[in-house]
Chains A and B, each alone.
Chain A
Amino acid sequence: MASGPAVRLEARAVTMRLGDVLALDGVDLAFEGRVRIALLGANGAGKSVLLRTLHGLMKPTTGEVAWSGEAPPPHGQAMVFQRPVLLRRSALGNVEYALAVNGVRDGERATQAAEALARVRLSHVATRSARTLSGGEQQRLAIARAWALRPRMLFLDEPTSNLDPTAAGEIERLMGEVHEAGTALVFSTHHLGLARRAADEIVFLHRGRVAERTPADLFFRSPRSPEAASYLQGELP
């Protein structure tokens, strides 16, 4: 669905100081094209902060985040949060709101929003109040809302962490479909299975630094950094 020159996102020497804590410490990363990146790392390693910094919600203390290609921020990108904040209106209304904010004209909004809901298989609850949906449905609605903005790159912060296996599986499938349709994915997760199946590359963070960036199959077979190795050992059964 999205076409044109590949999107390129680059973080250069990004540090982020939050109070006394150095949450990001000299991060250099570049993502180009329709990548699928999983951010892994222990709690507090800086995954969420990195996502927010790349997305533009947080300004780096030093260093910079730069976009090039045909999808400049903010609207060529979107983000799905761990706990999405849905507005107190219908499911359809939530998507329409995002479209309205991003300048989609009145006449086209309803159609586009309905299509977005259909893509995440939520048409049957379109008129239901968003806040009364189940956790899995809420997360799917959040994806529909982000997807409706036709982002070139989609950030997801632990998208399956609060969901039961069925709902998590549904989110994983949707992530695949979003990617199929032409959007790059950058997501953080603790579900190693999700990372293995849904990512081409793993970026492993340790104490605010990028410990390694490795193709997914290789990462899970033989991580290069000792931090990742011990993380995998601790996490895997």
Chain B
Amino acid sequence: MWDIAESFRLAFGLITGADPELGRIVALSLGVSVASASFACALGLPLGALVAVKEFPGRRVVVVSLNALFGLPSVVVGLVVYLLLSRAGPLGSMGILFTPPAIVIAQTCLVLPIVAALARQFVEDGWHEYREQLTSLGVSAMRAVPTLLWDLRYSLLTVVLVGLGRAASEVGAVMIVGGNIEGVTRVMTTAIALKTAEGDLPLALALGLVLLSTVLALNAAAYAVREWSVKHHG
């Protein structure tokens, strides 16, 4: 048990000590995760909303597939993105394997189905409430997509945070396509994996606590914004 106490002490030291290397790793983690979550949301939220409101043949298949993609193993995603970005692969000429953009691509692929599936559920529930009113006002299903996304923004914030959390906690795919290169593609999770590999378990756990605090701080901030907005905007 002393290991865990030691980890908390180390984690506290890391957070308060403002270690520049740790700062870089945290910044990179946040940068790639925010970027991937943004791309995934920019695509996934409208996609999920569209599936929620639009009747089309094969809709059930799409819904089930989206939900199933939730369980997409990250290593598979990592491998596919690796093969695409590898010099011998179709996108090899871009030369972005083992760079942060490669991580963003892999994380986006992982987060997109999660965001789309959750958004589909939230928007579908919202659509039940809004449907008559919006139809009465002359709103088409297509036109309802942006309306619902905007009106359900406080609920959808949860979806965004889930996506962000998933991206930030990802390790398998990030290791494969990023390569865990120090100072370039080493993020919180791969740093933790490396410290574990070096048998430095207290430091690994301490880094884990730093990651947890970072994600916690993000969530707390988002929650506060949401509370404030709900209070002032209903």
B139 within 8 A of A: yes
Cβ proximity bits A42-81 to B, threshold 8 Å, 1 near / 0 not: 0000000000100101000000000000000011001101
A18 within 8 A of B: no
Instruction: Note all chain A residues with C-beta closer than 8 A to B143.
Output: 101
Q: Which residue of B lies closest to A132 (CB)?
A: B234
Instruction: Note all chain B residues with C-beta closer than 8 A to A102.
Output: 137-138
Which residue, B132, B143, B153, B154, has most C-beta atoms of chain A within 10 A? Answer: B132
Contact of A81 among B133, B138, B139, B234 (CB under 8 A): B133
Contact of B132 among A75, A81, A129, A145 (CB under 8 A): A81
Contact B136 A78 (CB under 8 A): yes
Contact A129 B232 (CB under 8 A): yes
Instruction: Note all chain A residues with C-beta closer than 8 A to B232.
Output: 129, 132
A181 within 8 A of B: no
Q: How many residues of B contact A (CB 8 A)?
A: 19
Query: For window 85-114 of chain A, which residues contact chain B by CB distance below 8 Å?
Result: 85, 87-89, 97-98, 101-102
B21 within 8 A of A: no
Query: For window 111-139 of chain A, which residues contact chain B by CB distance below 8 Å?
Result: 129-132
A182 within 8 A of B: no
Contact of A79 among B129, B130, B136, B233 (CB under 8 A): B136
Contact A85 B130 (CB under 8 A): yes
A26 within 8 A of B: no
In the complex, how many angstroms separate the beta carbon of A54 from the nearest chain B beta carbon?
12
Instruction: Note all chain B residues with C-beta closer than 8 A to A78.
Output: 136-137
Contact B233 A85 (CB under 8 A): no
A176 within 8 A of B: no
Which residue, B130, B147, B151, has most C-beta atoms of chain A within 10 A? Answer: B151
Chain A contact patch, size range = 20 to 34
B135 within 8 A of A: yes
In the complex, how many angstroms separate the beta carbon of B136 from the nearest chain A beta carbon?
5
Q: Which residue of A lies closest to B139 (CB)?
A: A101
Contact of A57 among B132, B147, B150 (CB under 8 A): B132
Contact B136 A57 (CB under 8 A): yes
- State A55–B138 Cα separation when bound (angstroms): 11
- State A87–B137 Cα separation when bound (angstroms): 12
A33 within 8 A of B: no
Query: For window 95-151 of chain B, which residues contact chain A by CB distance below 8 Å?
Result: 129-130, 132-139, 143, 147, 150-151
Q: Which residue of A lies closest to B134 (CB)?
A: A85
Contact B130 A131 (CB under 8 A): no
Which residue, B129, B136, B143, B233, has most C-beta atoms of chain A within 10 A? Answer: B136
* B-to-A contact residues, CB < 8 Å: 129-130, 132-139, 143, 147, 150-151, 153-154, 232-234
- The 3 A-B pairs at the shortest CB distance, nearest first, are namely A131-B234, A85-B133, A129-B233
